[in-house]
Amino acid sequence: MLEVAKKTRRVPSLKTLVHARVLRHDEAMALTTLFFEDGELRVPIINDAIGSVVRVRIEARDVSIALSRPMDVSITNRLPGRISEIEYLTPPYVRVSFDLGKTSLQALVTKESILRLALEPGLSAWVMIKAVAISNGGIMPDHVPAPRPWPSARKTSREPT
């Protein structure tokens, strides 16, 4: 046995928080669709009402990368993006940052994947996230401020009495 195999390597804990709105529930599939600035995410069904705002935690270790549009795969969430940064961490781990538009998403892959796929900043690619990887523990209610009342409902001192 190699000496390296005896050492335990700690997987870096990287995550992305996405603010989303509950778009619809699919009772037959037991999935909820969440809408965020750069697309939709399908997750195991949640109890939040349609229109509710939630925060979604996506663990970088649950994000896969494809160079072409993934078609015949079981992974439900597939989003196009561009690699914005690659950071080499404790071997074999590498953090890949994706720009999805307004959202930055992290993926954790191995150095071998970086070399095999020839990943580099600026490259267009697809991120894939299993729906079951985003469990209820990763979805929390989020609070947005309520809109202020419209001023026409108030009378000002300059108006004639």
Q: Where do the domains of the chain lie?
A: 11-143
To the nearest 5 percent, what fractions of the chain are helix, strand and coil?
A: 15, 45, 40
Over residues 101-147, the pLDDT tens digits come to 999 999 999 999 999 999 999 999 999 999 999 876 678 877 665 66
Overall size of the chain counted in residues: 161
Antiparallel, parallel or unpaired: β 63-66 and 124-129: antiparallel
Q: Is the pLDDT of residue 55 over 70?
A: yes
In 3-state terms, what secondary structure has residue 125?
Answer: strand
* pTM: predicted TM-score of the whole model, two decimal places: 0.80
CATH hierarchy code of domain 11-143:
2.40.50.100
Query: Residue 1: how many CA atoms within 13 Å on its side-chain side?
Result: 5
Chain centroid, CA 61 distance in Å: 12
Mean pLDDT, rounded, for 17-46: 96
Over residues 87-96, the pLDDT tens digits come to 999 999 999 9
